[in-house]
Every structure is written in C-alpha cells, then in structure tokens.
Chain A
Amino acid sequence: MKLERSKDWYERRIALEGNAEIGAGMPPHCRANAAEAANVKPLETRIAFGTFVELWRRNHGWDAVRLAKEAGLNTEEILEIERNPQSEPEPSAVYNLARLFKLPSQVLLELAGLIEPRTPYLRDAAVRFAARSESMASLNQNEREAFEAFVSAISEIPQRR
C-alpha cells in the first residue's frame, strides 16, 4: 500500500496532532471497570493464585528473587502476587508465569481475576486449594498433595480462545 500526501498535507495535519499522545488498542487499566461491570469478584480465586505461585516456587526450592528472574518479572511483582490479593497483577506477568509453570495461561488469568470466570468449578477448586494450603517453611505431605492435585486439575481444563 502506497501512501501519497503532499508535504503541505503533513504540515497541516501534524500541526493538529501537536504534542498529543496517540494510541489505540487494549490497555490493562480498563479491566477493573470491566470486572466491576460484570460483577466479578476475583478475590477468592486471586488468593488461590497467589498461594499457588508461592507453593510452586517453594516446591522448586526457589526464593522470590529466583522466580522473578526465571519469569522475567520484578521481585516486587512476585511478592505482590503472593501476598496481596487486593492487588491486580499484570496480564504479562501472568502470561510469563503460565509459560514458566507450563500451565494454560487462560486458567491462570481467570484465577488472577483478569478475565471473566468461565470455568464453573475452578472457583470451588481454588477456594479448596487455598483453604488446604498454609504457609510453612517447606511443603508438607498435605500441601504437596493439594498442590499436585490442583496442578492436575487446572492442567486438564480445556483451553478456550
């Protein structure tokens, strides 16, 4: 495709643009409003998401710094995800973690409260998982079983586009 305009055209048109910031597309900021509009309450699943990230990390013997490095994130983001369910994680951070964990990104996005709930039993599974998991120095048998059962459950959820 060839775009042919006179230099005068650019002079006139660019004067209208001035110092404005121009962009179009889908920013992350709008998600909160959309979730609110859809009456989505992501807190319960986000607690499970944070717990899951923490247990995955501990199960691998990693600290938050190592996980952040491996996932290409800031350590602060990891700690925020693990410890503050009120804080909305970035979609890119969730994608990175999904890639690292080798899990479906859509399910993790749903757990993180970034997309509308689509999987009816995911919320219940997440709440059960969060309830069974307590923060301890190392995973006990119960935690390990809960963790592995949850990995298995979300791995088997069919991905939707």
Chain B
Amino acid sequence: MQESRVYLKEMATGQLVEASLLDEITDRHLAMWIDTWQPVMEERCRGRKPGDRPEDHHWDWKLKADGWRPLLGYHSFAITCNGELQGLMLACDFKSARIPAQFGKPIVHVEFLATAPWNRPEFQTPKRYSGAGTVMVAAAVELSWQLGYRGRIGLHSLGDAEEFYRDKCGMTELGNDAAYQGLMYYEMTEKKAEYFRQTH
C-alpha cells in the first residue's frame, strides 16, 4: 500500500492544498464514507424521485469493497484531504481496448469513480475542492503505465462528466455502450496518455 502526495484546489481560496492518494480503499476510508459521505447523500435523496437523485446514490462502497477485496485484478484508490474523504475509485486491469489503433490491448478500466458530495456542484457551488476527478484519472493512467499498458484506460462516464473526459482529458468518445446500459464509453490512447502524464 503506497501513499502519494497530491494536490486539490480549495475553491473558496483558490489555493492548492496538499492531499493524500492511497492506492487502496481501507476500512478507515469506508468508515469515513459511512460517517460523512453517506449521510449527506441520504439527506439529498430524501423526498426526491429516483431521477432527481445523484446518479451514484445507490453505490454502496462497503458492499463493493467486500466484493472486490478477495479478487485479483482490481485496484482501489482513495483521496483524503484535511482529514476528510474526497474521492473513491475502483478500477480493474483485465479489460481490452476498443479503439481500432489499440484494439484488443489490455487497458485499465475505471469501474466506479465518485467524488465526495461536497466536491460536486450538485450539492454545493462552488464545490469545496476541485481536482479529485483529475487525480483519479491520473492514478488510473499511472496504474496503466506501471502495468505496462502504456497509459491506456477506459471508462463509462456519468452524464455530467462527459465533457471533462472528452475535452479536458483528451479521451476518445466511442458512443453509447449497450452492455453498460447505454452509458457513453471513453478510452484514452497511449499518445493521449503520454500527453496527460507530461509534467511541467
């Protein structure tokens, strides 16, 4: 289990603040999710029709953790900042690329990615911290790189994030995926991943 120092932007001050990325969702993270994240989500859902609730409100990270922990090929990540949980991600390393240029090659596929409710404009504007999504995409690309996949990643975007993946991360839009209930599928090529990883 390794910890990386990363940065998030505190939107109230516009300043970058130090945060921690851990390459494993631990029991401590799950406890934080139960104590702080889930109640906000439940409060948000109360009295709202299913279509008006956050897209990921039904994700039970504790249940997911129990499911993926014994399995090979799954990788989980958590971001904390100022003692609070800021984002969670689950990825797997056994799926294949669909873009013709890299068709059939292994990719890291982001199974689930969510930022804390307070880091979403749906809950508060501006969100408390910006950058949790960026850090998670960077983590997926880095994992892919370290596995020898040269940065190739794929994911199925939630509706509000499509522009981010397509226009900000440079991922290729491959259309609605019937196997994933019509979600838009995106893939990052090796070339785009290299550009994304560039440090300045």
Report A's interface with B, CB cutoff 8 A: 1-31, 33-34, 37, 74, 76, 88, 90-92
Contacts and interface: CB of A to CB of B under 8 A. Distances in A.
A124 B47 CA distance: 34
A26 B181 contact: yes
Interface in B1-56: 2, 4, 6-9, 11, 16, 21, 23, 46-47, 50-51, 55-56
A21 B134 contact: no
Nearest to B7: A10
A88 B156 CA distance: 23
A10 B6 contact: yes
Interface in B148-172: 155-161, 163-165, 168
Contacts, number: 159
A23 B115 contact: yes
Given A17-B131, A23-B161, A34 B112 contact: no
Interface of B: 2, 4, 6-9, 11, 16, 21, 23, 46-47, 50-51, 55-56, 58-60, 75, 110-115, 120-122, 125-127, 130-136, 138-139, 142-143, 146, 155-161, 163-165, 168, 178, 180-183, 198-200
A90 B158 CA distance: 17
Given A3-B6, A17-B168, A19-B130, A24 B113 contact: yes
The 8 closest A-B pairs by CB, nearest first: A22-B133, A27-B55, A23-B158, A30-B181, A10-B7, A14-B131, A25-B112, A3-B4
Nearest to A16: B168
B156 A25 contact: yes
B9 A3 contact: no
B199 A5 contact: yes
Contacts of A27: 55-56, 158-159, 183
